[in-house]
Structure 1
């Protein structure tokens, strides 16, 4: 049995998310733990509503920039957020980023918020 999984990422389709202007390519997902590695493509002006990171989240910006109230992560920048951190995020000019989650986010607003 092969242990390494190779993906031809360019051939993977972009999927819509629950949030306007944000698309996703899932590279890895563990349905039991919720761990996920994905590419996100944000259109200019796209916004992710208030959410909580239930575990560490890591982001590496490949193109453009992603902002929150603490700062801006630009092309080539890396940011990580600790478990329990809450924020909104937006992309003024669009961006492409690689994100790694150990557990899924908990949305406090928007279509995926807990009712």
Structure 2
């Protein structure tokens, strides 16, 4: 129930509202116990929370103090929520609990402040990096 006092039975399979078929199952992740993955960007590690193969991705990113996300262009809206630390670019800065979104075409360099940063990033398509490096999730493609 919505008040959290009673869980629905696991064997109950809900049907979709728009077609006569079972509702796809939710995917739950134990994020604290997922390993951090190294990226091609020095001082930046990530946990891929969602990736659909087309470039849409939700990433938990941990940036060491001063780590830099090099010059890149957003190919679609990017959304970033700062969990810890200080996340900065030429246009502004975000502290814990703050949020920034960037439109398609936004081109910038971003970096972590002296205390580093942990951010949640939501990407609709991979960014294009000036030096040709692949986006965080591109190497996972087959």
Higher relative strand content: 1
Give the distance between the partners of 1:24 and 1:100, measured in 2 at CA. 13
Gapped regions of structure 1 (runs ≥ 5): none
Residue 112 of structure 1: CA displacement? 3.7
Residue 16 of structure 1: CA displacement? 0.5
TM-score relative to the length of structure 2: 0.75
Residue 109 of structure 1: CA displacement? 2.7
Higher relative contact order (CA 8 A, sep 6+): 1
Q: CA RMSD in A?
A: 1.5
Query: Could you give the per-residue CA deviations for residues 39-93 of structure 1, whole angstroms, max 9, x where no partner exists?
Result: 0000001011100000000000000011000010111000000001100001122
Runs of 4+ displaced beyond 6 Å? none
Aligned residues: 112
Q: Match for residue 69 of structure 1?
A: 90
Gapped regions of structure 2 (runs ≥ 5): 1-21, 136-142
Give the distance between the partners of 2:49 and 2:112, measured in 1 at CA. 22
Check conservation: 1:59, 1:79, Cα contact below 8 A: yes
TM-score relative to the length of structure 1: 0.92
Give the distance between the partners of 2:35 and 2:91, measured in 1 at CA. 32
Check conservation: 1:49, 1:110, Cα contact below 8 A: no
